[in-house]
Amino acid sequence: MPTEESCAVNSAVDDIEKRPVSKQLRHRRRDLWWRAKLRFGKQYGSPTECRTTPDADCPELAVGAVALGAKYRDWGLTMLRSLRGCGQFKGPVYIVTDDPRAFAGEDNVCTIVVPPVRPRLVAKSCKLLLAEWMPTREFLYIDTDLVVTGPIAPWYRTMRPLLDTAPVLCYPDRKPYDGAFHSGLILAETRRALPVYRRWLRLLRSGQYEFDQQSLAIVAQQGDVLHMPGDDFTLLPDMLAVDEVIPRFVHITNGMIRKHSETELRNFLSQRLGVERMPESFGRGA
């Protein structure tokens, strides 16, 4: 029998607003054009040949990220440095990018080259295609505008048993409703997660919804997506509001990069989060 909480969630999902048909069709045209270039470009769509070494503390885990455009390649390098430094993760990292030269000097990093893309929703589809390309049993997707402040391995050992219950694990989000699923940090069991990612990708490609979190919220209603517990994840606005203990993952977000001054963000990243490699892309023009 449905609970009061499940009924509330169903109602919130039903209230998610669809985009006008004209915008849906425009998105589909852009998406089809980009997918054609991805499919027929010989240099696109598979990991570059590279020798990878697993992390001894979590040998079945790899990290995946998407770095499209100069800004996100820049922030991707900062995320990667925090992953290797404070995160102490030595395993393979697979990065979807339109310019692999940015990551050519990084150890244990494989790039997956895709055509350049400007439309935001088309770029978001690369996050979901990662599940098709990842060769490891499990992978952790990390947004490139996210900073890792603590070791990955103990966190992973705590979360790993939850994958036996659901193959896709996310932290709670406040959008499109309170208690939805945040898509900036996702732990997944690759093979079992594929049906979820494929449903999510189909809905994203339909162009019906403005944000990928909205599509994820609808897909999650069919099951196989679970919340991760704990206080290891937060958004930058929440950290700026209160002087709290620094969580393991801090999502800076594009909105905050554009909203706050470069000086304020640089100070916060270096003094509060211990960021060693400072990005160069700040402000509304980034």
User: Each residue of 16-37: pLDDT tens digit?
Assistant: 999 999 999 999 999 999 999 9
- Please say whether the beta carbons of 257 and 281 come within 8 A: yes
Strands 180-189, 138-142: parallel, antiparallel or unpaired by DSSP? Answer: antiparallel
- Please identify which residue in the block is written with the tokens 């939850």: 162
Q: Which residue has the tokens 């852009």?
A: 30
Q: Is the pLDDT of residue 50 over 90?
A: no
**Residues ≥6 apart with Cβ < 8 Å to 140:** 61, 62, 63, 64, 152, 156, 185, 186, 187, 188
The CATH number of the domain covering residues in 20-272: 3.90.550.10
For the stretch 236-279, pLDDT in tens is 766 666 556 789 999 988 888 888 788 888 888 898 888 999 99
Neighbours of 218 (CB within 10 A): 17
Q: What is the pLDDT of residues 113-127, one digit of tens each?
A: 999 999 999 999 999
DSSP 30-75: HHHHHHHHHHH-TTSSSBPP-----BTTBTTEEEEEEE-HHHHHHH
Burial class (CB in 10 A: 0-12, 13-18, 19+), 133: middle
Model confidence pLDDT, tens digit, residues 53-79? 999 999 999 999 999 999 999 999 999
